[in-house]
Amino acid sequence: MRYKLLGRSGLRVSELCLGTMTFGETWGWGASKAESKKMFDLFANAGGNFIDTSVNYTDGTSEEFLGDFLKTDRDHFVVATKYSLTHPDNPDPNGGGNSRKNMMKSVERSLKRLKTDHIDLYYLHIWDYMTPVEEAVRGLDDLVRQGKVNYVAFSDTPDYIVAEANTRADLMGWSRFIGMQVPYSLLDRAVERAIIPMANHWEMAVLPWGLLEAGILTGKFLKPVKNATRINSKRLKLSEKSLKVVKEVESISQEVGKPMSQVAINWVRKHPTAQMIPILGARSAKQLKDNMDSIAWSLTDEQYKRLDEVSAIEMGFPHDFINGNRYLYGDTLDKIDGRRA
C-alpha cells in the first residue's frame, strides 16, 4: 500500500479507502461483526489506514463496530464519517439535514460510537438545498477549532455549492474542504462534466464510490455460452452502450488474467487529472481481498484508452463549445496541451 496527501492538506492516507457501509446487518444485508473484523484486519495488515463510515450507516452499527476495532490503535488510522442523513422514520424535523443543530448532535453521536475524542475527516453527506452555505461552513470550522474534527470534506453535493463553500472558507479564514466523495465508474461518468473539474481547481481529492455498479462490472451477471459469454440483460436492463462497456472490461480482464472488478477499479485509479482515492465496499473478506489486489498492477495506456473510449459520455455545453471554438484558439487549437480535453 502506498500513501497520498489528501487533497490540499498534509494528511497522509492510503491509496485505497475502506468503506464500511456493509459493516452490520441491521439493514437486512451486510456483514456480521466477525466478518467485518476480518475485513478491517485484512485492510490494516495490508497497510491501509483510511476508513470511511457515516453516522447513519446500518443505523449506527458501522460506527459502533469501528469503535471496537479502532480502540487498540486509534491514532494510526484516518477515520472519516459523515452527517446529514437520518432514518426515514425519525419524527424529529431537525433529525437530518445540514443545519448546525443536526451537525452538532451528529458529531457527538459519532464520537461516542467511535469511542474517540476526534474525527479525522468529517463530511457533509448530502446537500439539503435548505441550509445556508455559510451556516454549514462556519459550523464545520467551529468543530475544527474545538478539536473534534481535523479536516472537512463534501459528499454528494453540487459543484457550485462546494465552490461557494471553499470561497467563503478562503475569505473568512475558515477550514477549506479537501475532499469530494462522489459516485464514479465506467458506467457512471456524469461527475466528469463539472464536479471533477471543480475538485481539480480547488485541489480536492476525489473519493469515488460505486466503482463496480452493484456488481455489474464484476462480471457476475455474465453467463458462459460455448466459449463466449452473454449478459443476463433481461435482469439488468442495460443499455446497448453499457453492454459494450461490460464486454470491454471482460475482454481486458481476459488479456491481463485479472478479475473484471480489478480492471474496473484500475480504470478509476488511473484517472489522468484527478487525485483518485477509491472507496472499496465489500460484504466479505474474500471480496475485499480481490478488490485490494488491484493495486498490484496497472492498466496499460492502450487498455485505459479502450475503456475510456467505449464508456465516454457527451460532455455538452460549455465543454464542447469551448474546446472546439476556433475563434477562441485560432490556429493554435491543435497545439494546446492535454488540459484542453
pLDDT in tens, 5-15: 999 999 999 99
pLDDT at position 293 over 60 = yes
β-bridge partners, 155: 181
Structure confidence at residue 340 (pLDDT): 42
Report the range of poorest mean pLDDT among 16-20, 49-53, 140-144, 238-242.
Answer: 238-242
pLDDT at position 308 over 60 = yes
Structure confidence at residue 283 (pLDDT): 94
Separation of alpha carbons 104 and 91, rounded Å? 18
Rounded to 5 degrees, φ, ψ at 284 are: -150, 160
Structure confidence at residue 234 (pLDDT): 46
With bands split at pLDDT 50, 70 and 90, how would you rate the model's confidence at 327?
low
User: For this structure, is 184 an active site residue?
Assistant: no
Separation of alpha carbons 176 and 8, rounded Å? 9
With bands split at pLDDT 50, 70 and 90, how would you rate the model's confidence at 323?
confident
Average the pLDDT over 52-76 and give the result.
96
Task: Give the tens place of pLDDT for each residue, 257-268.
Answer: 999 999 999 999
C-alpha distances (whole Å) from 12 to each of 45, 146, 300 are: 17, 22, 27
Cα 17–chain centre separation: 9
Structure confidence at residue 89 (pLDDT): 83
Which is more confident, 58 or 229?
Answer: 58
Structure confidence at residue 179 (pLDDT): 98
pLDDT at position 306 over 80 = yes
Structure confidence at residue 329 (pLDDT): 61
Looking only at the bridges linking them, the beta strands covering 228-231 and 222-225 are antiparallel
Contact 103, 133 (CB under 8 A): no
Q: What angle do CA 86, 87, 88 make, to 5 degrees?
A: 110
With bands split at pLDDT 50, 70 and 90, how would you rate the model's confidence at 226?
very low
Separation of alpha carbons 2 and 16, rounded Å? 9
pLDDT at position 172 over 60 = yes
HSE-up of residue 324 (Cα within 13 Å, Cβ side): 7
pLDDT at position 157 over 90 = yes
Cell of residue 52, nine digits: 470511511
Q: What is the mean pLDDT of the chain?
A: 92
pLDDT at position 166 over 80 = yes
Report the range of poorest mean pLDDT among 26-30, 232-236, 299-303.
Answer: 232-236
> Which residues have C-beta within 8 Å of that of residue 161, sequence separation ≥ 6?
127, 133, 154
Task: Give the tens place of pLDDT for each residue, 78-92.
Answer: 999 999 988 788 889
The fold of the 3-214+260-299 domain, in CATH, is TIM Barrel (3.20.20)
Grid cell 463534501 is found at: 154
Structure confidence at residue 228 (pLDDT): 47
Cell of residue 49, nine digits: 489506514
Structure confidence at residue 236 (pLDDT): 61
Is the sign of the CA dihedral 134, 137, 139, 141 positive or negative? negative
pLDDT at position 341 over 50 = no
Does the pTM surpass 0.85? The reply is yes
Task: Give the tens place of pLDDT for each residue, 197-222.
Answer: 999 999 999 999 999 998 999 988 77
**Cis ω for the linkage preceding 318 (within 30 of 0):** yes
pLDDT at position 294 over 50 = yes
Structure confidence at residue 243 (pLDDT): 92
Q: With H, G, I as helix, E, B as strand and everything else as coil, classify residue 104.
A: helix
Structure confidence at residue 333 (pLDDT): 53
Which is more confident, 100 or 226?
Answer: 100
Q: Which of 57, 123, 151, 184 is catalytic?
A: 57
Domain ranges (residues) in the chain? 3-214+260-299
Average the pLDDT over 95-116 and give the result.
97
Cell of residue 261, nine digits: 472488478
Q: 194, 195, 231: which is closest to 215 by C-alpha?
A: 231
